[in-house]
DNA sequence: ACGACGCGCCAC
DNA sequence: AAACGTGGCGCGTCGT
């Protein structure tokens, strides 16, 4: 048995690495005793992050309490598998930092271990940390990574067990990308750090419990987030079918398109369309002039899509020629080349890179990412596929014999606002099934309101949700500033509760140390200089919890297996073609409920095999 | 080789 | 009095 002595917060801790059967028996004796005492820290080390890629391997499984960490060398197989599996099966409760990752790894690489099995005995310290403070480091928070949390709660000098290893990798001529797979299993720093992680999880859990209790965060909320995380992890495991042939073909098409337009750019001396400085100089040299507001945050001349479209005499939205000036051929070539290049690197290439051996994509779902609890989806970011053109979404498909169903909440953020702020007339309009923005326009402008009036009211409604002002709303709706200002004043007269609610929220946030509280009890930290944003946080957060509740409803209705992606106010599913209408109805039902007297409703759209079919694709 | 950051663009 | 919100991520540049 290898034994490493270390100290955490001034207390001695030990990391033990069983090397023989007898060593494993000692581990087992410890485990049984520790398991009776309480939850056990659990972690895994693997060859990287691409859990579903063909060569992926689980290397070690670690268990620990506050003082002892055990590294089970899974990679050695045999008895090591047997004891790790026995512990995973036998353990009553595990503390894991960022459990969905370890669930996915164990589900795929440890026989008999499933997300379902592990989830019911998991405490995720990352979820708990996010409920204490969801802010990322760049937002002034601690973030929810193990290192900063350990530094804050346990020991400022605790090692960065992930980060510090990259220095070790370098000394071994490995990189961050190759180190996790390439480092020798018996490397002492690797083993020590592997063994410390479950000790960290165990210690963090205690501290976070104390903090959650002190902050009066509801235990029910903690439990709810664990359920959502499990549902999202199961969705991730299922993944989505990639139309590999189509994607390859599209990738090639985009590549040649990019190449062609790059060649055109080269004629004007632009060697790289992704280097803004180059574009700036070339366009300046052609006599292009920027307006005073076309500057970046640091004061440089912008060369973004809007500016390029203006130079190319194209409509920003439709891409159609405007006929207002002589189009700049370079600007046009830049637009086309950048689009093709970006779509390739962000989408088609990534799809082909990360797909598993069965041609499925398992995007990683972070069920509680944003400050408001909103989810995010990465590798690849399937929440951000272009919607104006079907070609990218066309790559993703329902399972064989199935079709895609996309179910959206109807104007969920406006409805949530109506519910939270108890906006009397808005609630009536929604309950009566009226077109909300038209209803508002009628109140503001009278019976003879125009389409443009409705548009302005819609814009003002969104500005209420986002906290925007008249100037921004005017820019976005294209309406004159004075009109928007008048509409805003009238809006406040029609729905006076919104302003009152917003003021109340802001006052409460001030009094509560710049933290708002959502309807589900979620803490919503606000920036001191942007307290007004608390209204948006409350609305966005409640809308997110409508999605969360829907996911739970969908599971209870036996529909979890059909779910593919959560996209803020939408759930994407794959259902048998023959019964698609019934499934659509069932999904709608799960996403329909009452929120404080306001109906939250959803509408399902049944497509064909590809996701793109809902955006105009043929198949 | 890598992290931070600027810039830009995709979504809801 | 006025204040648009939340993310992911690729690429280039710069500094270490």
Report chain C positions within 7 A of protein CB atoms: 2-13
pLDDT at A104: 95
pLDDT at A547: 96
Question: Any atom of strand B under 7 A from CB of A38?
Answer: no
Q: How large is the average pLDDT for residues A383-403?
A: 94
Report chain B positions within 7 A of protein CB atoms: 1-3, 5-12
Question: Which positions 213-272 on chain A have a beta carbon less than 7 angstroms from any atom of strand C?
Answer: 272
Kindly tell me if the per-residue pLDDT of A89 is higher than 80: yes
If DSSP codes are grouped into helix, strand and coil, which group holds residue A232? helix
pLDDT at A294: 86
Q: What is the mean pLDDT of chain A?
A: 94
Question: Any atom of strand B under 7 A from CB of A82?
Answer: no
Kindly tell me if the per-residue pLDDT of A317 is higher than 80: no
Question: Any atom of strand B under 7 A from CB of A308?
Answer: yes
The torsion region of residue A433 among left (phi > 0), alpha (psi -120 to 50) and beta comes to left
**CA-wise closest residue to A331 among A283, A281, A285, A274:** A283
Q: How large is the average pLDDT for residues A468-472?
A: 89
Kindly tell me if the per-residue pLDDT of A14 is higher than 90: yes
Report the distance from CA of residue A277 to the C1' of nucleotide B7 in Å, as an integer.
10
Angle at A363 between CA A357 and CA A368, to 5 degrees: 155
pLDDT at A331: 92
**Residues A104, A237: contact at Cβ < 8 Å?**
yes
Q: How large is the average pLDDT for residues A15-32?
A: 98
Q: How large is the average pLDDT for residues A227-238?
A: 96
Report the distance from CA of residue A163 to the C1' of nucleotide B5 in Å, as an integer.
20
If DSSP codes are grouped into helix, strand and coil, which group holds residue A277? helix
* Predicted confidence (pLDDT) per residue in A134-171, tens digit: 998 888 888 899 988 999 999 999 988 888 888 889 88
Question: Any atom of strand C under 7 A from CB of A167?
Answer: no
Residue nearest to nucleotide C7 (CA to C1'): A376
Report the distance from CA of residue A346 to the C1' of nucleotide C10 in Å, as an integer.
7
Question: Which positions 489-508 on chain A have a beta carbon less than 7 angstroms from any atom of strand C?
Answer: 502
* Predicted confidence (pLDDT) per residue in A192-202, tens digit: 999 999 999 99
Q: Any idea which nucleotide's C1' is nearest the CA of A502?
A: C3
pLDDT at A153: 94
**Residues A133, A368: contact at Cβ < 8 Å?**
no
Q: Any idea which nucleotide's C1' is nearest the CA of A532?
A: C3
Question: Which positions 308-347 on chain A have a beta carbon less than 7 angstroms from any atom of strand C?
Answer: 341-342, 345-346
Q: Any idea which nucleotide's C1' is nearest the CA of A384?
A: B11
DSSP A611: G
Angle at A317 between CA A315 and CA A321, to 5 degrees: 25
Residue nearest to nucleotide C6 (CA to C1'): A370
The 3-class secondary structure across A76-132, one letter per residue, is HCCHHHHHHHHHHHHCCCEEECCHHHHHHHHHHHCCCCCHHHHHCCEEEHHHHHHHH
* Predicted confidence (pLDDT) per residue in A412-455, tens digit: 999 999 999 999 999 999 999 999 999 999 999 999 999 999 99
**Residues A160, A166: contact at Cβ < 8 Å?**
no
Edge-to-edge order in the sheet of strand A602-606: A563-566, A570-576, A402-409, A602-606
Question: Any atom of strand B under 7 A from CB of A324?
Answer: no
Report the distance from CA of residue A292 to the C1' of nucleotide C1 in Å, as an integer.
25
* Predicted confidence (pLDDT) per residue in A325-373, tens digit: 999 999 999 999 998 988 998 899 999 988 999 999 999 999 999 999 9
pLDDT at A300: 86
Q: How large is the average pLDDT for residues A401-419?
A: 96
Residue nearest to nucleotide C12 (CA to C1'): A275
pLDDT at A175: 87
Region of poorest pLDDT, from A475-484, A497-506, A557-566: A475-484
pLDDT at A59: 97
Q: How confident is the model at residue A269 (pLDDT cuts 50, 70, 90)?
A: confident
pLDDT at A38: 97
pLDDT at A330: 93
pLDDT at A607: 97
Task: Determine the straight-line distance between the first and last CA of chain A, rounded to whole angstroms.
Answer: 59
Residue with tokens 């670690």: A62
Question: Any atom of strand B under 7 A from CB of A4?
Answer: no
pLDDT at A312: 92
Question: Any atom of strand C under 7 A from CB of A599?
Answer: no
pLDDT at A292: 84
Instruction: Provide the percentage of residues in chain A whose pLDDT is more than 70.
Output: 100
Residue nearest to nucleotide C2 (CA to C1'): A469
Q: How confident is the model at residue A54 (pLDDT cuts 50, 70, 90)?
A: confident
* Predicted confidence (pLDDT) per residue in A279-304, tens digit: 988 998 999 998 888 888 888 888 88
Sort A565 into a burial class: Cβ within 10 Å, 0-12 / 13-18 / 19+: buried
pLDDT at A53: 87
Question: Any atom of strand C under 7 A from CB of A371?
Answer: yes
Question: Is there a cis peptide before residue A8, judged by omega within 30 degrees of 0?
Answer: no
* Predicted confidence (pLDDT) per residue in A580-594, tens digit: 999 999 999 999 999
């Amino acid at each position: 048995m290898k034994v490493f002595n270390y100290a955490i917060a001034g207390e001695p801790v030990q990391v033990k690495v069983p090397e023989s059967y007898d060593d494993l028996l000692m581990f087992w004796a410890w485990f049984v005793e520790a398991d009776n005492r309480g939850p056990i820290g659990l972690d895994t080390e693997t060859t990287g992050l691409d859990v579903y890629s063909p060569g992926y391997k689980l290397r070690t499984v670690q268990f620990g309490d506050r003082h002892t960490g055990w590294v089970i060398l899974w990679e050695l197989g045999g008895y090591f598998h047997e004891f790790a599996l026995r512990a995973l099966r036998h353990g009553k409760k595990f503390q894991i930092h960022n459990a969905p990752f370890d669930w996915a790894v164990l589900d795929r690489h440890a026989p008999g271990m499933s997300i379902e099995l592990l989830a019911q005995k998991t405490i995720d310290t990352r979820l708990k940390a996010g409920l204490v403070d969801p802010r990322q480091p760049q937002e002034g928070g601690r973030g929810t990574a193990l290192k900063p949390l350990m530094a804050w709660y346990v020991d400022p000098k605790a090692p960065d067990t992930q980060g510090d290893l990259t220095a070790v990798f370098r000394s071994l001529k490995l990189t961050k990308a190759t180190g996790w797979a390439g480092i020798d299993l018996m490397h002492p720093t690797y083993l020590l750090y592997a063994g410390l992680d479950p000790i960290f999880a165990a210690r963090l859990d205690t501290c976070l419990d104390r903090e959650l209790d002190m902050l009066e965060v509801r235990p029910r909320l903690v439990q709810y987030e664990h359920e959502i995380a499990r549902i999202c992890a199961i969705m991730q495991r299922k993944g989505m079918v990639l139309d590999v042939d189509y994607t390859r073909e599209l990738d090639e098409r985009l590549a040649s398109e990019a190449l062609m337009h790059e060649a055109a750019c080269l004629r004007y001396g632009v060697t790289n369309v992704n280097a803004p400085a180059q574009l700036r100089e070339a366009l300046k040299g052609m006599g292009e002039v920027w307006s005073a507001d076309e500057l970046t945050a640091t004061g440089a001349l912008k060369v973004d899509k809007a500016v390029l479209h203006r130079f190319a005499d194209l409509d920003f939205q439709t891409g159609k020629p405007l006929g207002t000036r002589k189009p700049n051929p370079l600007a046009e070539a830049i637009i086309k080349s950048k689009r093709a290049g970006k779509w390739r690197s962000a989408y088609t290439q990534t799809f082909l890179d990360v797909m598993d051996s069965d041609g499925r994509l398992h995007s990683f779902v972070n069920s509680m990412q944003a400050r408001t609890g909103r989810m995010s989806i990465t590798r690849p970011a399937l929440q951000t596929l272009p919607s104006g053109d079907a070609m990218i979404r066309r790559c993703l498909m329902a399972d064989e014999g199935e079709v895609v169903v996309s179910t959206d909440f109807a104007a969920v953020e406006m409805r949530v606002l109506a519910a939270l702020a108890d906006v009397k007339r808005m609630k009536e309009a929604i309950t009566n099934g009226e077109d909300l923005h038209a209803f508002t326009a009628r109140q503001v402008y009278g019976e003879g309101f125009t389409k443009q009036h409705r548009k302005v009211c819609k814009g003002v409604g969104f500005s209420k949700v986002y906290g925007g002002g008249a100037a921004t709303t005017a820019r976005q709706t294209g309406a004159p500033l004075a009109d928007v200002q008048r509409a805003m004043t009238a809006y406040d007269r029609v729905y006076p509760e919104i302003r009152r609610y917003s003021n109340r929220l802001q006052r409460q946030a001030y009094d509560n140390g710049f933290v708002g509280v959502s309807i589900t009890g979620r803490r919503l930290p606000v920036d001191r200089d942007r307290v007004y944003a608390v209204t948006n946080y409350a609305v966005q957060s409640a809308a997110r919890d409508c999605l969360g509740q829907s996911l739970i409803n969908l599971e209870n209705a036996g529909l979890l297996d059909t779910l593919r992606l959560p996209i803020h106010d939408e759930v994407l599913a794959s259902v048998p073609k023959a019964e698609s209408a019934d499934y659509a109805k069932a999904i709608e039902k799960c996403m329909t409920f009452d929120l404080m007297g306001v109906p939250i409703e959803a509408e399902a759209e049944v497509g064909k095999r590809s996701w793109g079919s809902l955006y105009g694709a043929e198949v």
